[in-house]
A and B are shown apart, each in its own frame.
Chain A
Amino acid sequence: MDLTGLPTVTPTDREAVVRCLREASAAHTRVLVVGGATQLDRGNPAAVDLVLSTRALDRVVAYEPAEMIAVVEAGCTAAALRDLLRPHGQEWPVDADDDATVGGLIATGAAVPRQLGVGPLRDSVLELECVSGDGRAIHTGGRTVKNVSGYGLPRLLVGSLGTLAVIVQAAVKLRPLAGARRTLVAAGGLPVALGWLRSVPLATAILVHGDTAELRLEGWADDVAAQTAWARACAPDAHVGDDAPFPQAAPWSHHPVVAEMSVAPSRLGAVLATAGCDAGGLVGVGAGWAGLEGAAALDRLRRRVESLGGALPVVRGPGGLGGTLPAPAIHRRIKAAFDPAGILAPGRFWGGL
């Protein structure tokens, strides 16, 4: 999405967000919420009048390492959060660009490469302070790992693409930073990857792209060594890289259009076969990315993914979200409940919401 020429407001506290959205609702000013602007292409094209940047909301609100929870404002960047947590041997296991913001990552609900081992992003979001489209400050969830008080509104907001409310603050669940990290790379593609899924019990991630399979191991050093031995039984020639990044290669990223796939794990092979060689899939998770040349390739792959019950939103380049909404009437009522004037990026969400 191109934001050139659009006026931008950069509120410095929640009250300023409240004022901004009340005014926007009254004046029917369409607002796009932007954090690090790393995922602007995610979503259907939406005409907007104003950009609301969360970048000045970048304070650390509370961090008690013993609780393994960090409370930060939405504009806190992935890099800043990482720097805060690392000295305490902890991480928020969402792999993202340095510039991406916590609020933006939650609002986009991006797939997490290490999801097999660390769980999806939505499972790490405990509490969200947000402001609904009509300018009401709302507190959802709670600052404890366990909590069933009230509806699971944080889950509803994860992946809502800024169409229900502006996230201004989040409490996220952390995990211990692994002492040892290792990436194994082997030839053999999906069969090797599936072999790893069966035989390496503590795999943090398994990625297959083309004829290559990558295995991520994180944990205590001797565990990682033991897991490596099991992994080698499937792939004796695997190359072992200690402290190497994961993934080692992202061939999809060189294409003009990048789409993020979500299918049942057992359907991943079928999707990858259609997607061509510049696609990568997370085995055991059913997520992945495909690098595509243009609209025709996207349509073809999207039809395949949707016929298997999955979804294929574009995350870079043109192409939007595709897909059809389940229970569209409920979706419309939820949108109207949180954003009655319809000012939050109207049309950006699935189903044109």
Chain B
Amino acid sequence: MGSRGGAVAPAVALPRDVAAALAAAVGSAWLLTDPTALHAYACDGLTGWRALPRAVVLPASTDETAAVVTILAAHGIPFVARGAGTGLSGGALPVAEGVVIGLARMRAILRVDLDDERVTAQPGVTNLAVSEAVAALGYRYAPDPSSRQVCTIGGNVAENSGGAHCLKLGFTTHHVVGATLVLADGQVVELGGTALDPAGYDLLGAVVGSEGTLGIVTEVVLRVIPLPPAVRTLVAAFEAIDAAGEAVSAIIAEGVTPAAMELMDRTALSAVEAAVHPGYPSGAAVLLVEVEGPDRRCAEEAEQVIACCRAAGATACRIAAGEGEAARYWRGRRAAFAAMGRISPHYYVQDGVIPRTRLAEVLQAIRRLEEEHGLRVANVFHAGDGNLHPLVCFDGTRPGEAERAEEVATRILDACLAVGGSLTGEHGIGRDKVCQVPKQFTVADQMAMHRLRTAFDPAGLCNPGKLLPTPRLCGEAPGIYRPHPTELRGVADRW
């Protein structure tokens, strides 16, 4: 499923009766089968992987989604749900023998209920639109991926998306209180939505972050929180990135929980300064910190943060004088990925997590990899929670360089795992990292996950080939889970 680079597999046409049934379910205008139209859906934000689906269906409601899934399930045709296609791990990469179910038409905010501090939205609503819908009422939706203007809530639920402000406020899973889920056989179930601890296992907790493998969320109930009374945004520059890392640890140890703590190294800064002129103080590393809360507390925390930065050797600390300056500082951070184009023709975005206290040694490992492979790595991270985003710079026109960049990116993840970290903090496993899953999880761990998956989707039609490795995807590498047919039938077992 899917291939690397520009090669695009030819579409296999849908059987005529299936196409007719799908067209009847959603209206023929919303069933796309023309190859030129399908090309727009061939990849998501992980553009190196492409596959043409057999068709794209664009349902407008839960009922239409359920009807589409029922038809596909009856014919054993796999399907991949897609929001805005901004994901960076290939979670929305089509399956060549399958159909993409695009949720972009389902973009209504259905209810705003401030008595319970909740917003009910369809999956195609953008992340930012949720916050905008309640901003005038003094509320916001907390998780804020950098792509929040375009990424959708449905995609956020699938990926358990994070963002800069997760440090204090938590990830998507902490803010989803209910969902309507179309199961892989077309049945519709409601999970949560009223009480925080409903009867049963926490199926909602399993669905959030399941990368579209347990069903399709067609409605989601989100918790919104009051806007903070006051916010202070500040930046500190350091001569060495390790010193900035020390400042981060000191701030946490002080008992301060900033809303966000973002770190950028010299390479990232050079790109960002060229692209959006955020006006950071100059240094080898810049730490961007935001604190929020009641006015006086906020001012005190800003002072505490500055004291920690100075003690760690900051050469300059600035508190944004107003919203304009704060927005400029944030623009620099949010533009970091896009700005890499200024200094490198291509770059590979990595996403790994480490225990916060191991930052210095992982950064050293990254430096060694840069030297060994002769490639530059820009580091941008959510420093407060140890979530690294190394950007491996390369020139794809030079033979072998893309492969070397991928090798560096993979080795960086190995360094994260070696200190007890994780393969991904917010971008997901998707197709991108599926063959690396055995580095973090044993065969038994993978099997437990596989069993959860088959409890939701016994036929394996829901976004196959993502999240868990299979021999077809990853070859016969040792340790990769490969269920024996008897295991799948529940007849045999392995330990």
Contacts and interface: CB of A to CB of B under 8 A. Distances in A.
B356 A67 contact: yes
Contacts of A138: 444-445, 448
Nearest to A66: B357
Interface stretch (B20-28, B52-60, B203-211): B203-211
Contact of A159 (B173, B194, B197): B197
A189 interface: no
Contact of B355 (A143, A311, A351): A143
A149 B466 CA distance: 12
A287 B197 contact: yes
Contacts of B173: 152, 155
Could you tell me the dominant secondary structure of chain A's interface residues? loop
A136 B445 CA distance: 9
B451 A144 contact: no
B474 interface: no
30 contacts: A120-B197, A144-B385, A144-B422, A146-B382, A146-B386, A148-B425, A148-B429, A149-B422, A149-B424, A149-B437, A150-B437, A151-B209, A151-B452, A153-B449, A156-B206, A201-B229, A266-B113, A286-B196, A309-B194, A311-B198, A321-B199, A325-B199, A326-B190, A326-B191, A330-B189, A331-B203, A338-B451, A349-B201, A350-B199, A351-B199
Interface in A110-160: 111, 119-120, 122-123, 132, 134-140, 142-153, 155-156, 158-160
Contacts of A345: none
B331 to A, nearest CB: 23
A176 B304 CA distance: 15
Contacts of A148: 159-160, 162, 171, 209, 422, 424-429
A179 B297 CA distance: 14
A176 B255 contact: yes
Nearest to A334: B455
A334 B116 contact: no
A320 to B, nearest CB: 11
B444 A152 contact: no
A263 B196 CA distance: 7
A120 B196 contact: yes
B395 interface: no
Select the residue from B115, B174, B183, B197 with max chain A CB neighbours within 10 A.
B197
Contacts of B495: 135-136
Interface stretch (A77-85, A219-227, A293-301): A219-227
A16 interface: no
B426 A146 contact: yes
B490 to A, nearest CB: 7
A136 B448 contact: yes
Interface in B195-224: 195-203, 205-206, 208-210
A267 B196 CA distance: 12
B374 interface: no
A265 interface: yes
A155 B171 CA distance: 14
Contact of A201 (B171, B226, B449): B226
B170 interface: yes
Interface string A282-309: 0001110000000000000000000011
B371 interface: no
Interface in A43-91: 64-69, 89
A338 B206 CA distance: 14
B253 interface: yes
B367 interface: no
Given A266-B115, A325-B200, A331-B200, A152 B209 contact: yes
Contacts of B422: 142, 144, 146-149
Given A147-B353, A351-B200, A66 B253 contact: yes
Nearest to B160: A148
**Ranked 4 nearest A-B pairs via Cβ:** A155-B205, A309-B194, A323-B199, A337-B451
Contacts of A338: 448, 451
A44 to B, nearest CB: 11
Contacts of B210: 151-152
A144 B200 contact: no
Contacts of B458: 333
Contacts of A68: 252
A49 B209 CA distance: 38
A158 B202 contact: yes
Select the residue from B189, B196, B293 with max chain A CB neighbours within 10 A.
B196
Interface in B413-436: 420-429, 433
Select the residue from B296, B455, B490 with max chain A CB neighbours within 10 A.
B455
A342 interface: no
Contacts of B357: 64, 66-67
Nearest to B170: A123
Interface string A313-353: 00000000111111100110110111010000000011100
Contact of B195 (A309, A322, A350): A309
A326 B200 contact: yes
A144 B449 contact: no
Contact of A262 (B166, B195, B355, B467): B195
Interface string B452-495: 11111010000000010000000000000000000000100101
Interface in B339-363: 353-357
B100 to A, nearest CB: 22
B455 A337 contact: yes
Interface string B210-253: 10000000000000001001000000000000000000010011
Contacts of A323: 198-200
B445 A139 contact: yes
A326 B252 contact: no
Contact of A337 (B296, B427, B452, B467): B452
Interface string A258-288: 0000111111000000000000000001110
Contact of A286 (B166, B195, B453, B493): B195
A325 to B, nearest CB: 5
B442 interface: yes
B194 A264 contact: yes
Contacts of B255: 89, 176, 179
Interface string B177-191: 000000100000111
A119 B429 CA distance: 27
Nearest to B226: A201
Interface in A203-227: 220, 222-223, 226
